[in-house]
């Protein structure tokens, strides 16, 4: 038998605002000597976005590229005829669904889903513990150099026996479930499609080693559906903390509003949103947070609608709300892990295997 032909040469075009991840790139070059990597740096604007229309990528670079790694800078389909797949540095692709290459091409799209689980789950845990233990008041005492008396100190209830409802049981939800389970919480999961078999409950995407719930064994119960009745049935399961971790799609946009908060309010639930602000009807959320009886006891929001959140928003001044500027997924390992996903898919491509983290355009994620 003859030797297998060498892998086809790949030209990876990387368009990124991040510093070059030397270790991850060296790993790719070591494992894939057939790969050539070209990096084009872009810069953030002061508001955290990029001047996408001002970024000029030479046509020749797009034409040579067989793999593109980017966040939002994309070619027209005809500019990049040789693309095998596009790897996004983000977990979601809702920001590019109106681009021609998303709508009018069949180029495979992959995401960095899975790389954010540890840091976002830690952010969630931080918010839950800070809220329960009145951290805002304690920090105020420290700023005032005051050995103060904590209001409600005997009303603090730990999380043992409380129920976490995870709306969207992906990598972030799974790692949050792992941490909350360690606190003694019960966990229930909600997904768009039914997960009735052990195989269907498995996480088949990228998993940071030592994290998550690969086999899907943590939840005590699974719920599913894309209709209001199914969602309401899930929300009625005596949820103490609701984690919103679904992707933004036409189905999930504004899916949490007055009716849903009334259901959660019966259990005086705490809401955490690390997904997208427009999944929630924000005015309805504010009303539920201000409601003395039958409302939400509090919320931790890393995302809002709109972003940035304007200074006039009532959310800023609500004592039972914590707001952060969409940074729960940030961390020193972000870029390295994203390139690890890319390397995994390079290996899969060479060996004729399925790519991981592939976007289903019909579902929107």
Domains of the chain: 10-115+333-350 (3.40.50.720), 117-323 (3.40.50.720)
CA atoms within 13 A of residue 325's CA, in its CB half-sphere: 5
Closest CA to 320 of 265, 244, 266: 265
- Phi/psi at 252 (nearest 5 deg)? -95, -15
Question: How many Å apart are CA 223 and CA 204, to the nearest integer?
Answer: 19
How many residues in the chain? 365
Torsion of CA 142, 148, 152, 157, to 10 degrees: 50
Closest CA to 138 of 125, 127, 147, 129: 147
| Full DSSP string of 296-325 | -SEEEES--SSSSPPTT-GGGG-TTEEE--
Q: What is the pLDDT along the chain (365 residues), one digit of tens a residue?
A: 455 556 679 999 999 888 888 899 999 999 999 999 999 988 755 444 545 545 789 999 999 999 999 988 999 999 999 999 999 999 989 989 999 999 999 999 999 999 999 999 999 999 999 999 999 999 999 999 999 988 877 788 999 999 999 999 999 999 999 999 999 999 999 999 999 999 999 999 999 999 999 999 999 999 999 999 999 999 999 999 999 999 999 999 999 999 999 999 999 999 999 999 999 999 999 999 999 899 999 999 999 999 999 999 999 999 999 999 999 999 999 999 999 999 999 999 999 999 999 999 988 88
Neighbours of 365 (CB within 10 A): 20
For residue 38, the model assigns a pLDDT of 96
Q: Give the pTM.
A: 0.91
């Amino acid at each position: 038998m003859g030797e297998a032909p060498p892998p086809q040469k790949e030209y990876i075009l990387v368009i990124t605002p991040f510093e070059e991840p030397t270790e991850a790139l060296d790993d790719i070059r070591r494992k894939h000597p057939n790969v050539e990597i070209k990096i084009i740096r872009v810069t953030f604007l002061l508001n955290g976005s990029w001047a996408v229309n001002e970024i000029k990528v030479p046509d020749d670079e797009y034409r040579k590229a067989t793999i593109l790694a980017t966040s939002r800078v994309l070619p027209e389909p005809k500019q990049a005829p040789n693309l095998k797949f596009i790897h996004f540095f983000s977990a979601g692709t809702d920001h590019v669904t109106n681009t021609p290459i998303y709508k009018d091409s069949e180029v495979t799209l992959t995401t960095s889903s899975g790389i954010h689980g540890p840091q976002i789950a830690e952010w969630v845990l931080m918010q839950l513990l800070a809220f329960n233990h009145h951290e805002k008041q304690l920090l105020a005492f420290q700023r005032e150099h005051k050995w103060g008396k904590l209001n409600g100190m005997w009303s603090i209830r730990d999380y043992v026996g409380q129920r976490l409802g995870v709306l969207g049981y992906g990598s972030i939800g799974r790692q949050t479930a792992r941490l909350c389970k360690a606190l003694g919480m019960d966990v229930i999961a909600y997904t768009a499609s039914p997960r009735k078999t052990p195989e269907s409950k498995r996480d088949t995407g990228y998993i940071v080693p030592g994290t998550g719930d690969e086999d899907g064994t943590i939840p005590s119960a699974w719920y599913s559906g894309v209709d209001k009745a199914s969602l309401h049935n899930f929300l009625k399961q005596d949820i103490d903390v609701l984690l919103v971790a679904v992707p933004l799609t036409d189905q999930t946009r504004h899916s949490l509003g007055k009716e849903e908060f009334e259901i959660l309010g019966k259990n005086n639930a705490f809401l955490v949103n690390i997904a997208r602000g427009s999944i929630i009807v924000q005015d309805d959320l504010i009303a539920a947070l201000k409601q003395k009886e039958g409302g939400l006891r509090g919320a931790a929001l890393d995302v809002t609608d709109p972003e940035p959140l304007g200074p006039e928003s009532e959310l800023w001044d609500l004592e039972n709300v914590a707001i952060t500027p969409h940074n729960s997924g940030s961390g020193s390992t972000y870029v390295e892990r994203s390139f690890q996903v890319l390397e995994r898919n390079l290996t899969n491509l060479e060996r004729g295997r399925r790519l991981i983290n592939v976007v289903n355009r019909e579902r929107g994620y």
